[in-house]
Amino acid sequence: MVSEQQVLDSMRHIVDPDVGRDIVSLGFVKNVRIDGGDVRFVVELTTPACPVKESFRTQCEKAVRALPGVTSVEVEFTALPARQRRGPAINTLEQVEAVLAVSSCKGGVGKSTVAALLARAMLREGLSVGLLDADIYGPSVPTLFNVHHPQLYVRENMLVPVDLDGLKVMSLGFLLGESPAVLRGPIVSGYIQQILQQTDWGRLDYLLIDMPPGTGDIQLTIVQQAALDGAIIVTTPHSLSLVDVAKGILMFEKVNVPVLGLVENMSYFVCDNCAKKHYIFGSSARSLKERFGLNTLAELPIVYGLSNVERRDAGADFAPLAELSANVHREVGKRRIERVPQPVVSVDSGFLQIRWPDGAVSKLANRDVRASCRCAQCIDEVTGKQLLDVAKIPADIGVEHVQPLGNYAIGIHWSDGHSTGIYSWEHLRQIAGTAASA
């Protein structure tokens, strides 16, 4: 009869593509049961919506079935438990697997449209999804879904979300109507807390929170109440948007919310005559990666009618949306298991010293690092030309504070007042390599 060790060894070649390690060493394979030639076991996924779930099933069944004496293989899937959520006694998020913020930090970049289309895409995958429109001053969900005066119900003192073709939706616009919200900060925070604590979401795979633009009290209230699993930042490849992207990344990471990646909206348009992609603002996923150290989850082009999300199948024939949804699943899963050793940064006199996970040490001159900043204030987003006058950087420029940003970058507050620069580990490696070869 086959042994448990043989079963495990047979699957050591099956690698999780997002982590780069095999599912056995990651501890994903559990509860192996052997009854004669019948083998059963559990594969614990990082998230119920893992995009490689069926691939794992096929590979596991094939590997174990090839063992001598095995006549049948049964694979059961579970998922890592959702993040433990802090909050009030009435916690309406306790049955939600993942709570994600969709943020822009600047208005007008299509954040709400992206959030709604992503919710529709996830729903088509068979997932249970909720969408909360938390923008009290400019709620967009009523317009996007063309639902302006829904009948709201209260069950056991809890608001019942509006059901739109299986998508659970709640908006402050449903509560306030079409009148402008002329409210002061404390009252706004009170509305936010009420809708978070008193909406009966039930069991969900994902709750997407369409965040209001900015980085103020409302955003902090949502972060504190919801214990977010991650944030998605929507931007356009334009300097005004990119400046705010940096501020948003710094805000989320400062309150321990991992930024999953960027969505580059209105990235390009496809010409009717030549079918060529035209990048109007002269940017691309690569330049965003260089600026912020984060992956681009999707590049969404300018497409007429894309903002109409009334229909359940809205965006169904739009490939970048399926790509966005799959990438979000991957990033959520990676954050749940990833424990990658990070470089350690220390500040020396006139230098940044970086001890890399492989033991190597790099010593980078402060002035060189400051001069290499690729933020929207220092680099022209269209031409790539340096806007920063390097000659004006003080020779004795100092580092006032270093902020770790997840597992991808650091933010640096300089003595000249500049604080929006984000330096990815890849970028700092390049500087170290240049300095070493000089």
How many CA atoms does the CB half-sphere of 4 hold within 13 Å? Answer: 9
pLDDT of residue 89: 41
Amino acid at 29: V
Q: Which domains does the chain have, with CATH numbers?
A: 4-79 (3.30.300.130), 96-336 (3.40.50.300), 344-437 (3.30.2020.30)
Residue 436: CB atoms within 10 A of its CB come to 9
The token duo for 327 is 């990438």
pTM of the shown model: 0.76
Distance CA 221, CA 191 (A): 10
pLDDT of residue 177: 63
pLDDT of residue 207: 93
Distance CA 22, CA 11 (A): 8
Per the CB < 8 A criterion, the answer to whether 283 and 381 are in contact is yes
DSSP letters spanning 329-395: HHHHHHHHH------EEEEETTEEEEE-TTS-EEEEEHHHHHHT--STTTB-TTT--B-S-GGGS-T
Burial class (CB in 10 A: 0-12, 13-18, 19+), 118: buried
Per the CB < 8 A criterion, the answer to whether 42 and 31 are in contact is yes
Characterise 282 by phi-psi region: left (phi > 0), alpha (psi -120 to 50), beta (else).
Answer: left
Q: Which residues pair with 163 in a beta bridge?
A: 168
Q: What is the pLDDT of residues 204-230, one digit of tens each?
A: 999 999 988 766 667 777 777 777 888
Nearest to 114 by CA among 284, 283, 318, 376: 318
Parts of the chain with a pLDDT under 50: 88-90, 182, 185
* Cα 97 versus chain centre, distance: 15
Distance CA 139, CA 137 (A): 6
